[in-house]
């Protein structure tokens, strides 16, 4: 691995600061892609004030797609964005070979950076995972953001592992989807704030931003971006903790509803069902999740609508 001081200039391009929305992949009722819905969705996210967009993150349902389909969605997403905000492309896959293939494709069609979760299902060791990211970095010339998600990968890279990858030049950022706020804090401290660290799960967004995280990529930024931007501005730009607490008091109930099944071992609403239902209520139609994830049960709709109204959105119950 090359020293970061001699790496290509593109790898030294600053990553975004602020709120990044994970754009969804729209499907028709029969499971086929509804790519005509993609541009209105991305237009809406940008109008909400996001600093970046990440196609084919978890919210893009990448795990249920073949590589060619992922390439189609990535191309359509980059075309729809048209350079208005940076694209942080999700190019994760189960093998190093396929991840590199998708990463090189995303770079070739205009992605500004890559968001990559460790290979899932096979649960490689930390040493194997670090080698995976080194190989990706050698194959591309744009920055890599490592998506740290232990529950869905079985891979737990420690602060020392992540800092080492950063110092080698293999990664430039980390999306920390860990329920322990200190994972964000320790990573920022270990790298003197030079590594771009993003709050990657909403339950630690408030604390993570207070610790100095460079931004926020998760469910709330992808469903109610304008509200997420207000929290980011209050903490990271204005340093107004009192205002931030008031904003979080309205966002926290939505966070708890959205991740109720995730945090309660299956009881409650599925995070992605909540997200797509919410987007359908306040923005352009994005359709339903692709099975096995199902639409949000009717029993949750009114609660969700109330939470969205409390955040200042005009709610239309289209379903």
Cβ neighbours of 206 (radius 10 Å): 22
Which of 11, 71, 172, 175 is catalytic? The answer is: 175
Q: Are 26 and 41 in contact (CB under 8 A)?
A: yes
Q: Catalytic: 147?
A: yes
175 is catalytic: yes
pLDDT in tens, the chain (319 residues): 444 444 445 667 789 999 999 999 999 888 889 999 999 999 999 999 999 999 999 999 999 999 999 999 999 999 999 999 999 999 999 999 999 999 999 999 999 999 999 999 999 999 999 999 999 999 999 999 999 999 999 999 999 999 999 999 999 999 999 999 999 999 999 999 999 999 999 999 999 999 999 999 999 999 999 999 999 999 999 999 999 999 999 999 999 999 888 777 778 899 999 999 999 999 999 999 999 999 999 999 999 999 999 999 999 975 4
Helix (H, G, I), strand (E, B) or coil at 108: helix
Whole-angstrom Cα distance, residue 204 to residue 153? 19
- Tell me the sheet residues that pair with 147: 175
Among 147, 198, 232, 313, the active-site one is 147
Estimate the crossing angle of helix 271-282 against helix 241-258, to 10 degrees.
110
Neighbours of 101 (CB within 10 A): 17
Dist. CA 154–CA 116, nearest whole Å: 15
> Given CA atoms 156, 158, 162, 165 in this order, what sign does their dihedral have?
negative
Instruction: Name the CATH code of domain 12-240 (choices 3.10.20.600, 3.30.70.20, 3.20.20.70, 3.30.1950.10).
Output: 3.20.20.70
Q: How far apart are CA 165 and CA 157, in angstroms?
A: 10
**Domain residue ranges in the chain:** 12-240
């Amino acid at each position: 691995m090359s020293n970061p001081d001699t790496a290509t200039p593109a790898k030294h391009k600053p990553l975004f600061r602020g709120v990044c929305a994970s754009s969804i992949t729209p499907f028709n009722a029969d499971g086929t892609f509804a790519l005509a819905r993609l541009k209105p969705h991305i237009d809406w996210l940008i109008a909400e004030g996001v600093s970046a967009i990440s196609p084919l993150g978890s919210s893009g349902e990448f795990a249920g797609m073949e590589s060619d389909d992922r390439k189609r969605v990535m191309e359509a997403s980059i075309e729809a964005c048209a350079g208005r905000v940076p694209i942080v492309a999700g190019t994760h896959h189960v093998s190093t070979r396929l991840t590199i293939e998708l990463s090189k494709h995303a770079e070739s069609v205009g992605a500004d950076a890559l968001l990559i979760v460790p290979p899932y299902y096979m649960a490689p060791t930390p040493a194997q995972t670090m080698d995976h990211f080194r190989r990706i970095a050698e194959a591309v010339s744009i920055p890599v953001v490592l998506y740290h998600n232990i529950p869905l990968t079985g891979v737990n890279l420690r602060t020392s592992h992540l800092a080492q990858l950063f110092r080698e030049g293999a990664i430039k950022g980390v999306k920390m989807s860990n329920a322990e706020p200190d994972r964000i804090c320790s990573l920022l401290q270990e790298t003197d704030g030079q590594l771009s660290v993003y709050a990657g799960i909403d339950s630690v967004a408030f604390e993570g931003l207070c610790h100095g995280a460079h931004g926020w990529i998760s469910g709330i930024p992808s469903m109610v971006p304008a509200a997420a931007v207000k929290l980011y501005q209050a903490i990271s730009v204005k340093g107004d903790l009192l205002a931030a607490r008031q904003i979080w008091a309205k966002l926290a109930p939505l966070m708890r509803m959205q991740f109720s099944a995730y945090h309660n071992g299956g009881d409650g609403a599925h995070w992605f069902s909540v997200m797509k239902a919410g987007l359908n209520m306040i923005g352009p139609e994005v359709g339903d999740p692709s099975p096995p994830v199902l639409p949000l049960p009717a029993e949750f709709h009114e609660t969700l609508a109330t939470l969205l109204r409390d955040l200042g959105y005009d709610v239309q119950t289209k379903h």
